[in-house]
Amino acid sequence: MNNFLVFVLVLAFPLLANASSARQASLEELLDYSTLIVVGTPASRTSAWEKTRIYTTWDFLIEEVWLQEDTVDPKKLSALASLTKLAIKTLGGIVGEIGQTVAGSPRLITGQTYLLFLTPSQEGSFFIVGLSQGAFEVNGESLRQLSQLGDMKIVDDRLELPSTRTKLRQAIIQARRSKPHQ
Amino acid sequence: MKNHFLLLIFSLLVFPSPSWSYVCSRVPDSTGQETGPSLSWYTRSITFALQQDGTTDIAGDQELDELRDSFAVWEENLAANAGNTCDPQELTTDLVFTESNSLSSSTLVGYDFLNPSKNENLLLFQDTSWPHAGTSGIILALTTNTYNALTGEIFDSDIEFNSSNFTFTLSSNSNPQTDLKNTAVHEIGHFIGLGHVPIRAATMYEQASTAETKKRDLHCDDAEATHFKYPFALPNGYCTPTEACGFCAPPDTISSTVQVKISDTNPDSTSGCQCAAGQTGWLGFAWLLLLRKRRERA
């Protein structure tokens, strides 16, 4: 592992603090589980029952795409690379007067920019890897893993990491390059 | 390698966990922020069901006894369950968890609101496959709470253990892998409406390291949370939402009749249905029946 990636991982670890009863996933694991990594903004959402579960589907507008090329069907590569929006599904939501919540499931907010590690679902939409562990809030040049602390956000200037977004982006590219193709 | 180690030490010193009090899970608003009423049971006697298959990770039915013991941690003298080191020392609740009369053959997770009698507060091991894409080697267990979005009243809660990707072991095991009680006690905290806290020593801290056992009992923060939410012989605890009381917000005032509209989004599908506020009539009546049955069950 190169020094730069180690540096980014060390910086990122204090932010990796959100999931249900969960093991803390490293950045490398998030990369291993993901097919697609995107930066963008959820524009709208709809929640619906699927059998006994409520899922929320987010209409996600994409600003940047990174592909885990070795995990994608080559025929779909160009289509995915040029995506401008996609559907992202999260566990839980409210339908009518019934709500369902899954502890650790990321609660996205419309209009907020995120970096998301994604894995495809069977119906063409995507799930976020590791529930909230694969979701990072992007604020300018800072990046923070999603909090599951209710409506409280850990606001601590010491956690603001200038240019983290750029560094993480570079780390992802580095990790992808160093990953042996199958 | 030495430099990497120093970097890690530096990050731990510079970014310590903030001290924090407990957190109540709450109903999210239309933007996704948790600003609504806190999720709470409206009964102090909650029935749970254990799925009959258990897990092959553990011999016999010992895993079921471990789950029963895990519920007991959240009952009665909470301060004692937190090691009698809490201030105040009197932290009690009258929450009682009662097991259903028999083991369950159901694997229903979530809520079947068209067949409410089928619902149980089920604990089950997912031995053969973990159904949540992208989480298989990361998430040890998941709790799904179904609630009334107007009041925050929890009416169903289910816990799934990811035994297809993690090997669960008993608290008596001197070489624990994924400690079942450590995981179960945390998930039962969600079951009663508690959210995650960033106190690393707390049971409701969100992450678990391999072979961790510190969540087998409560931290004072967890005991305080339960004492506040479900105080002995007193109504559920609510407050003007502030950090100091875990944002345990009261129910919204209901000024209109609950209305439910059901429409099949895909007429050819047998799996989907959608409901939304707006239409009265027989479906509203069905909803009231559902509420009554649910209360009878509780």
Best of A35, A101, A146 to mutate (most B CBs within 10 Å, chain B): A101
Name the residue with higher pLDDT: B6 or B147: B147
Sign of CA dihedral B222, B225, B228, B234: negative
Reply yes or no on whether the pLDDT at B295 is more than 50. Answer: yes
B256, A97 in Cβ contact below 8 A? no
B147/A contact by beta carbon, under 8 A: yes
Q: Which residues contact B131 (CB under 8 A, 6 or more apart)?
A: B160
Reply yes or no on whether the pLDDT at B115 is more than 50. Answer: yes
Q: Would you state the pLDDT for residue B205?
A: 86
Q: Do B149 and A94 touch (CB under 8 A)?
A: yes
Which pLDDT band holds residue A174 (cuts at 50, 70, 90)? low
Q: What is the mean pLDDT of chain A?
A: 71
Residues of B whose CB is below 8 A from A94: 27-28, 149
Q: Would you state the pLDDT for residue B87?
A: 84
Q: pLDDT tens-digit profile of B9-53?
A: 444 444 444 444 899 999 998 877 889 999 999 999 999 999 999
Q: Do B134 and A127 touch (CB under 8 A)?
A: yes
Q: Would you state the pLDDT for residue A22?
A: 64
Q: What angle do CA A110, A145, A153 make, to 5 degrees?
A: 70
ipTM of the prediction: 0.79
Q: Would you state the pLDDT for residue B111?
A: 97
Which pLDDT band holds residue A160 (cuts at 50, 70, 90)? very low
Q: What is the mean pLDDT of residues B257-286?
A: 42
Q: pLDDT tens-digit profile of B201-227?
A: 999 987 777 788 999 999 999 999 999
B217, B237 in Cβ contact below 8 A? no
Q: Would you state the pLDDT for residue B188?
A: 97
Residues of A whose CB is below 8 A from B3: 3
Reply yes or no on whether the pLDDT at B166 is more than 80. Answer: yes
Reply yes or no on whether the pLDDT at A74 is more than 70. Answer: no
Best of B106, B111, B122, B135 to mutate (most A CBs within 10 Å, chain A): B135
Task: Count Cα atoms within 13 angstroms, Cβ side, for B146.
Answer: 27
Q: Would you state the pLDDT for residue B138?
A: 85
Which pLDDT band holds residue B275 (cuts at 50, 70, 90)? very low
Which pLDDT band holds residue B134 (cuts at 50, 70, 90)? confident
Best of A6, A44, A52, A91 to mutate (most B CBs within 10 Å, chain B): A52
Q: Are strands B45-50 and B122-125 parallel, antiparallel or unpaired?
A: parallel
Q: Do A121 and B133 touch (CB under 8 A)?
A: yes
- Give the distance from residue A147's alpha carbon to the nearest chain B alpha carbon, in angstroms: 9
Q: Would you state the pLDDT for residue A67?
A: 67
Which pLDDT band holds residue B279 (cuts at 50, 70, 90)? very low
Q: pLDDT tens-digit profile of A17-55?
A: 333 566 666 677 787 888 888 889 999 999 999 999 999
Q: Do B138 and A127 touch (CB under 8 A)?
A: no
In angstroms, what CA-CA distances link B66 with B71, B184, B241?
9, 9, 35
Reply yes or no on whether the pLDDT at B117 is more than 80. Answer: yes
Q: Would you state the pLDDT for residue A153?
A: 29
